Structure 1
């Protein structure tokens, strides 16, 4: 097994580590927090409101129209940024293939879908 196999394996291991390790550490943190809270409850300690607020803050809220609109604008901006980088990169270097426009269309279409969903979302938040 030569060195030429380690580079691709290292790339895949890095991607796997970037994806898997945050989930692992988050679940480990939750387990430790639950153990601490159980020990406090078993000893008869009252839970401060800050702890309860911290525990409930991580609960995922249902999607709202404002959140969908913000997410859509961010995805649309990413798509436009990739398209501009492709256009200007090929323009500066004299190329005329613009291959990155296909890749740029993926986040742009996701952004447009989120923006459209923001208008049809039944969970309307009051506009401030």
Structure 2
């Protein structure tokens, strides 16, 4: 059932994207200029928000907190020893660290510009 639900969502998103591309293509073929507001709305509609370094930092911190929570849960559940779940927690932890680094580098790049 979850696979079916995800499939339906993906189908309708792909269909919506195809309709948007068709509309843009027709406007370009007719020589009509696309207003900047419309292009900005397309950027936002793709992911729901514009990608910024602050969002990378926020996502990185959240993933690191999830990893830390898994490690603490594993540590307490297994009589204060680290088991398999702590190793699995490294995955979101390292992704969080990478996002944090990307966000910091992005902020420094913006400040220099």
What band does the TM-score fall into relative to the shorter chain? 0.5 to 0.7
2:103 aligned partner:
118
Structure 2: how far apart are the matches of 1:117 and 1:53? 23
Asked if structure 1 preserves the Cα contact closer than 8 Å seen for 2:67 and 2:93, the reply is yes
What is the CA RMSD across the aligned residues, in angstroms?
4.2
Structure 2: how far apart are the matches of 1:53 and 1:117? 23
1:72 aligned partner:
60
Q: What's the CA shift string for 1:82-126, capped at 9, x where partnerless?
A: 1122112223xxx84521110011101110111111121268668
1:8 aligned partner:
none
Asked if structure 2 preserves the Cα contact closer than 8 Å seen for 1:87 and 1:98, the reply is yes
Asked if structure 2 preserves the Cα contact closer than 8 Å seen for 1:65 and 1:124, the reply is no
Q: Quick one: which of 100, 107, 114 aligns to 2:92?
A: 107
Give 1 or 2: higher helix fraction: 2
Q: Which has the larger radius of gyration?
A: 1
Asked if structure 1 preserves the Cα contact closer than 8 Å seen for 2:57 and 2:99, the reply is yes
Shift of 1:79: 0.7
Q: Quick one: which of 2, 6, 13 aligns to 1:26?
A: 13
Q: Compute the TM-score of the two structures, normalised by the length of structure 2.
A: 0.60
Asked if structure 2 preserves the Cα contact closer than 8 Å seen for 1:80 and 1:108, the reply is yes
